[in-house]
Amino acid sequence: DAGVIQSPRHEVTEMGQEVTLRCKPISGHNSLFWYRQTMMRGLELLIYFNNNVPIDDSGMPEDRFSAKMPNASFSTLKIQPSEPRDSAVYFCASSFTAVIQETQYFGPGTRLLVL
């Protein structure tokens, strides 16, 4: 299994531009998570999906952030317009959750720099 796949791995953009981050979860997993990691705030959960349905988006910083999961094998996190304070590493993670909690597997992350 290839594991969780994220693209792009690095993104440099200018303030005001739209940024789209992509994630392909591990095949068979039914939960998908988007995290943001910074030195100041640590690892923050932004949103998670279960069976393609957004369950909790309380971590999404503001309306500039949106996430979709159109099918079980693909999700996007979009920032529009981007701001310098959005610079961070964005991780996608997936897990299989049924009766009991199972472990989350993280993707390699997208390192975003907004100038």
Partner 1 sequence: GENVEQHPSTLSVQEGDSAVIKCTYSDSASNYFPWYKQELGKRPQLIIDIRSNVGEKKDQRIAVTLNKTAKHFSLHITETQPEDSAVYFCAASKTGANNLFFGTGTRLTVIP
Q: How far is the CB of 83 from partner 1 (least distance, A)?
A: 24
Residues 6+ apart with CB under 8 A from 99: none
Quote the CA–CA distance of 58 and 33 in Å, as a whole number: 12
**DSSP-derived 3-state class of residue 15:** coil
Quote the CA–CA distance of 81 and 100 in Å, as a whole number: 38
For partner 1, the closer CB: 81 or 108: 108
Note whether 63 and 83 are within 8 A (CB). no
For partner 1, the closer CB: 2 or 100: 100
Q: How far is the CB of 46 from partner 1 (least distance, A)?
A: 11
For partner 1, the closer CB: 43 or 113: 43
Residues that bind partner 1 (CB under 8 A): 31, 33, 42-43, 45, 48, 50, 55-56, 91, 95, 97, 99-101, 103-109
